[in-house]
A and B are shown apart, each in its own frame.
Chain A
């Protein structure tokens, strides 16, 4: 759904009309309830911003230490198995509730012994002392033990938790760019055709027809990409990895098309008819009027369409989770398998310990996604605002 365009209210201000009339107590109450519900909506919306931020905050503030050394610092000897409260034991072993419930005493005891052994090996690995959630390791490359050069790696479940965000960001951008490269030309061309060139009767069903694409759930598009499109495209182009940024991007493009189309179509339609009519009267063809007069006038709206399409593509989860292959390889080749920011959250959150550093890192990704979509939304709104100001100024 493209965000709504709230501009100048079309209803003249009647909100003050009934002030000072006779007040009935029941109606007064009903109106307060209405206000309270509206207030609830605002509170809930603010809570989202606050809550996702709150869970990620300790990482931003540098209060989390994810080094292996820190993790193994406090040790519960296996003899104390029965004395330790279960919740503390669960957190100590880094298990989810389900995993913990499924384990018997012997397995738990063994796990505790494994940890003590691991502790004895710390001095062998200098990486064990690194706090891997510091910004230096999140953004910059690092030469981990056993690597011959500095690398960007996202590998949260290995012994040394590697949380470099660069492969995920590149993966997200790659899939998004493929999607936009596929969707934007098609959607813009269709918007021009439907709003300016098609005859009004065709327009009546072309527009809802294209908008129907938005009604297909993303999990169905993901399924289609995974089962049909991936095989088809591999047979066509003959590349090695079946699931990659190209397949995911094309499927993502299908989700982006209706967004770009409906925002752009709205913008083009909002250009006063007289512009095109003046051009036609001067002897231009319909295409010339659409391309040289209407499109330039609606340009801010077209930018808005692209920006909002970008926001939709980068935040989409199920399509990329299913069709991108999910290997976090850092490369700009669209034929490599990719792992995106959204897919990482979806794939990994279930296995994390609530409050642990992996959990918090996924919330950091959430904040990042949130910031990116927030900014693209803001930019889109700004463009639409400019379009409106421009058209109203000249009318």
Chain B
């Protein structure tokens, strides 16, 4: 897009930077950029510095003690399991629906029909909805309406709710709805970046449209779709608001054994440790340790996504 200025031009510009107002303002904006990066660096450094010490295999995978605030006994194994379970389950819902929607939108739907435009603007708006509203929706729709009617259907007359209470499945479904736009947008972007000539070539060779989409377009778009999936997972893993009322538990003696069980969660545990600890100073090592584990999970995924995206962009630039 933007060709690098030639060496001579650049040299000339640097000398002209000396005009005092321009020099000052350039410095100011550069300073702002550095400040943002410095804040990011400070946050990460602070967390790594205080948290690295409490990381150990026992802390990450060990089972949680009833007294969650005692640094000697605390471990986050069940929370790691809960977060992983809800995120993996979410992926099972969001990837098929999100990718199909994107394929439909780019490859099949006519760009100008009312229903394509409606679907697009619905997806756009979904991306801006606050996460707590998804929590409300999850409680009102999945837990009460869907779960409640499942109970009435399967176990009529049973006063103890089985499906109609917060559960792993409802939390995952709520997150799947929340991350739907992430997957749709990333997949669409990946599909659109593929030159139309590839499709035409495939059709010209006698392939049907479906064959073209599945064997020519999708393999090319795979890295982009992967990026979308990773971003969705990373975003979902760190979210607390949507699962507050749809499935997370403060403490559970055992791991969730079925879809209708509640679960403990890493991100929620950060919230619990920072707001409910009886002695903040004493439980600080566990708190920092938990944050490090959570960041390793979400942040690492983000970095991977950014790297893949950069590579794909570079490759597509060569292709196009």
In the complex, are the beta carbons of B100 and A38 less than 8 A apart?
yes
In the complex, are the beta carbons of B126 and A285 less than 8 A apart?
no
* Chain B residues positioned under 8 Å from A9 (CB to CB): 106, 111, 192
* Chain A residues positioned under 8 Å from B3 (CB to CB): 273
Distance of A190 Cα from B26 Cα, bound (Å): 10
Instruction: Give how many A residues have a beta carbon under 8 Å from the other chain's beta carbons.
Output: 111
> For chain B, which range describes its interface: under 10, 10 to 19, 20 to 34, or 35 or more residues?
35 or more
* Chain A residues positioned under 8 Å from B33 (CB to CB): 189-190, 193-194, 198, 206, 210
Contact with A along B132-150 (1 / 0, CB 8 A): 1111110111001100000
The 6 closest A-B CB pairs, nearest first, are A217-B238, A315-B130, A215-B302, A189-B32, A18-B209, A287-B22
In the complex, are the beta carbons of B208 and A377 less than 8 A apart?
no
Q: Known interface pairs A217-B298, A254-B39, A342-B132. Does A322 touch B274 (Cβ–Cβ under 8 Å)?
A: yes
A213 CB–B CB distance under 8 Å: yes
* Chain B residues positioned under 8 Å from A377 (CB to CB): 124-125, 127-128
Contact with B along A8-52 (1 / 0, CB 8 A): 011111111110011010010011011101101110111110011
Distance of A63 Cα from B166 Cα, bound (Å): 28
Interface of B is mostly: helix
Interface residues of B (CB under 8 A from A): 1-4, 10, 13, 16-17, 19, 21-23, 25-26, 28-33, 35-37, 39-40, 43, 46-47, 96-98, 100-101, 103-111, 115, 118-120, 122-137, 139-141, 144-145, 159, 161, 165, 177, 180-182, 184-185, 188-189, 191-194, 196, 199-200, 203, 208-212, 231, 234-235, 237-241, 244-245, 267-268, 270-271, 274-275, 280, 284, 287, 291, 294-295, 298-299, 302-303, 306, 310
In the complex, are the beta carbons of B119 and A42 less than 8 A apart?
yes
Distance between B99 CB and nearest chain A CB, rounded to angstroms: 9
Distance between B55 CB and nearest chain A CB, rounded to angstroms: 16
A300 CB–B CB distance under 8 Å: no
**Residue of A with least CB distance to B186:** A4
Contact of A215 among B37, B47, B245, B298 (CB under 8 A): B298
Contact of B101 among A38, A363, A374 (CB under 8 A): A38
A390 CB–B CB distance under 8 Å: no
- Given A1-B182, A37-B100, 9 other A-B contacts at CB below 8 A? A4-B181, A41-B119, A194-B33, A199-B10, A214-B302, A221-B43, A226-B274, A291-B25, A370-B130
Distance between B165 CB and nearest chain A CB, rounded to angstroms: 7
In the complex, are the beta carbons of B46 and A22 less than 8 A apart?
no
**Residue of A with least CB distance to B183:** A41
Q: Which of A75-83, A129-137, A147-155, A345-353 contacts B (4 or more CB under 8 A)?
A: A345-353
Distance of A107 Cα from B131 Cα, bound (Å): 38
In the complex, are the beta carbons of A216 and B295 less than 8 A apart?
yes
**Residue of B with least CB distance to A285:** B22
* Chain B residues positioned under 8 Å from A92 (CB to CB): none
A selection of 17 A-B contacts at a CB cut-off of 8 Å is A17-B203, A18-B208, A186-B35, A216-B43, A217-B294, A217-B295, A219-B267, A220-B295, A227-B280, A257-B36, A285-B16, A315-B132, A317-B131, A322-B271, A345-B136, A366-B133, A373-B128
* Chain A residues positioned under 8 Å from B267 (CB to CB): 217, 219
* Chain A residues positioned under 8 Å from B133 (CB to CB): 48, 52, 315, 366, 369-370
In the complex, are the beta carbons of A223 and B32 less than 8 A apart?
no
In the complex, are the beta carbons of A220 and B291 less than 8 A apart?
yes
In the complex, are the beta carbons of B208 and A21 less than 8 A apart?
yes
In the complex, are the beta carbons of B180 and A220 less than 8 A apart?
no
In the complex, are the beta carbons of B26 and A286 less than 8 A apart?
yes
**Residue of B with least CB distance to A201:** B4
Contact with B along A353-379 (1 / 0, CB 8 A): 010000000110010011001101110
In the complex, are the beta carbons of A186 and B32 less than 8 A apart?
yes
Contact with B along A161-174 (1 / 0, CB 8 A): 00000000000000
A62 CB–B CB distance under 8 Å: no
A318 CB–B CB distance under 8 Å: yes
In the complex, are the beta carbons of B97 and A286 less than 8 A apart?
no
A112 CB–B CB distance under 8 Å: no
In the complex, are the beta carbons of A45 and B245 less than 8 A apart?
no
